Every structure is written in C-alpha cells, then in structure tokens.
Amino acid sequence: MVRMELIAVTLFGLESLVAKEIRDLGYETIKVEDGRVTFEGDETAICEANLWLRTAERVLIKVGEFEATSFDMLFEKTKALPWSDWLPENAAFPVKGYSLKSDLFSVPDCQGIIKKAIVEKMKQRYNKDWFDEKGPCYQVQFSLLKNKAVLMIDTSGEGLHKRGYRKKANAAPLRETLAAGLVNLSVWKPGKAFIDPFCGSGTIAIEAALIGANIAPGLLRNFAAQRWEHIPKGLWKDIRKEAYEKINYDHEFKVLGCDIDKDALALARHNAQLAQVEEYVSFEQKDAANIHSNEKYGCIICNPPYGERLGEKSAAESIYRKMGKTFSHIDTWSYYILTSHEEFENHFGKRASKKRKLYNGMIKCNLYQYFGPKPKQQK
C-alpha cells in the first residue's frame, strides 16, 4: 500500500465535521482549511473515505504543491511531478480548476499549460507522442491561491452528495452532504423523536435514517477510482462487504418528514425507497403550523423557505412567525433551522442558543440552534 496525502473537499462551514469523520475512520488529519481537509492514507483510505464520508464533497489525491508566479514555473513544476505513478498509458486526464488572488489569473491558460506539462511527462514515461485517452478517467484538478498551486486527481467522479437515491428533486433541493451535516450538528440520536416540517423531497429525513441505521452513504453508487488499475477491485469489494456488515438493523427508530405539497411527499417516499430506508422514515402531509408531538424530547431539523426571491420575503417571514408559535408548544425539544434570512430570530420570536454560518450552494445561511433541556435520567 502506498501512503499519500488525500484531500476531502467540503462545503464551507462543514470542515470540522469532515475532519471528525476522517478521524473516526482511523486516519490522521494533517490540515483543516476553508473548504478542505488534508489527511494521510493509502488505497484503503481512498475506498473508505468515498464510501463513508457523509459531509465531504469529494476525495482527491494530492499530487504536488508549489509556488507558481509565471507560466514557465507552472509548466516545469507540474512536469516534475510523478504523474506516471498514477496515470496509465490510456488514461483520460481532463484538467479543471480555479485561480484566486494569483498572478496566473487566466484559468483557461492554466488548464492548457498543466495539460501540456502532464503530456510531456507521459511522453517520457511511455515513449510515445500521442495518447488517445480512451481509458479510465483521472480528472486532474488544480487550485491557485495567492500563487500557491496545488495539483490533485479526483477519486470520486460525481460529487459525494450524489448518493444515488435522489433521481429527481423538488425545485429547491438541499444538498445531501449539507443535510447530513445538519443532522450531525444536532443532538439527535436514534430513539429520539425527529421531525422535519419542511421535508420537500425528504433529504434531511433520509440522511437522518442513513445515520441512524449506520448505512454508508456511498453504498448505492460507484466512484471514478473503481476503474483504476492501482486499486484492486477486490479491495473495493471487501470494503463494501464490511460496510454492509456494519449496518445496524437492530435500531428501532422513526423519523418524520412533513410538507404541505403532496407531490413533494410522493417524491420523498420514492427517494426513501431508493435509499432503502423506508422502514425508518414516514411522511405526512401537514402544515408546519400544525406540527405537534406527544414525545417529551425530540429534534426538529429543517430548511424552511428563505424568501430570497422578490415578493417571497414577507411570505417567509409569516412562516417564521407561525413556526415560533407552534414550536413554543414543544419547548422541551431542540430545533435546528437553516435560513439565509438575517432577521429570522426577530420573526421567530426567540434568540438562538447558538448560530453557525453555513452555505447552501452559494447562499450564505445561518443554522439557528435552539437547545432544549436534557432528558431526565430515569432512576
């Protein structure tokens, strides 16, 4: 097994959750930065990270890092990296990336130069002048930030938020990785009541069910690195088998998703079936203003309308006021409410115990966290 640096790409605000997930898998984190967590691992780590990380967006192999203030430097230092250790002769290796606050600000020029440098390295290794690139994909990614270049290869393929259960979604879907993050940031555990009163296509409820039953989020999908010759197919098979063995079928719990839109609920039920968690999730057509429970303690985790579009702000504020009145009747519960509305607390009628900045796509939001009392210990 080859030791290497790996990078888990994250949504802004979820870095600490991703770092904890990596440590829980048994790997040491080297660095936690905005939007990424670097850790050390081998081929097994590539498989396990892709299969198990709930809040990471993708897993990258770090090929090299260097200063680049000119295109000549970018070319020569890229060429010097050990590309042929990873790329077979028939590899497809498209290049994409970004440049921020760097002298090399033209992304298309950087793409072309990095591509050319890798081709030159491949020519040396395979003693040929042209590559058909008809084999497995080794997506090359680069970041240029303040003249520091980091070059990587993507092991995931499609983003890790694409679990495989959400073939269709409603108009404003919440990314699965962010939904899992909301659940992990809460105090909810299997056996504790759970309600999402704005469930839409069911993403938060389904992610809670996956967490509650300890189902690896990547079990229903494939990854780019599964086609790579460096990682034995038997290794992927063994790690998937272990993941199935770790599913906790003994946990008895139920999460509830509610929405006023019957079409969204039909989609949520379909998604729960695809995710194979329908036994843990139920969905009801209900207005958030009518939410109630006979359970003494529980969690509400939701992503209500933000009112971002013109003419929708007052409607969102009306919803927040109704939420405040309704939730006050279950004041022993904990609430976790994600919204971009800066005045949410004023309309909800209560200051949050804690706020956390998160991003839903490009929208800056706050997760308003209201902590209920701890359940009393039974004697």
Counting residues of the chain whose pLDDT is more than 70, the rounded percentage is 98
Question: Quick one: CATH architecture of 4-154?
Answer: 2-Layer Sandwich (3.30)
CB 255 within 8 A of CB 212: yes
Among 171, 186, 177, 159, residue whose Cα is nearest residue 306:
171
pLDDT of 166 reads: 87
- The Cα–Cα gap between 208 and 221 comes to 19
36: Cβ contacts below 8 Å, ≥ 6 apart? 7, 8, 9, 10, 15
- Tens of pLDDT, residue by residue, the chain (379 residues): 789 999 999 999 999 999 999 999 999 999 999 999 999 999 999 999 999 999 999 999 999 999 999 999 999 999 999 999 999 999 999 999 999 999 999 999 999 999 999 999 999 999 999 999 999 999 999 999 999 999 999 999 999 999 999 877 666 679 999 999 999 999 999 989 999 999 999 999 999 999 999 999 999 999 999 999 989 999 999 999 999 999 998 888 999 999 999 999 999 999 999 999 999 999 999 999 999 999 999 999 999 999 877 678 999 999 999 999 999 999 999 999 999 999 999 999 999 999 999 999 889 999 999 999 988 765 4
pTM: 0.95
- The Cα–Cα gap between 71 and 346 comes to 52
How is the beta sheet containing 56-67 ordered, strand by strand?
Answer: 29-33, 36-41, 4-10, 56-67, 148-154, 140-145, 95-100
Residues of the chain with CATH 3.40.50.150: 176-215+248-370
Q: What are 256-289's pLDDT values in tens digits? A: 999 999 999 999 999 999 999 999 999 999 999 9
CB 138 within 8 A of CB 61: no
Number of H helices, E strands in the chain: 10, 14
Residues of the chain with CATH 3.30.2130.30: 4-154
- The Cα–Cα gap between 362 and 360 comes to 6
- The Cα–Cα gap between 110 and 95 comes to 9
- The Cα–Cα gap between 131 and 150 comes to 24
CB 311 within 8 A of CB 284: no
Q: What are 118-137's pLDDT values in tens digits? A: 999 999 999 999 999 999 99
The superfamily (CATH) of domain 176-215+248-370 is Vaccinia Virus protein VP39 (3.40.50.150)
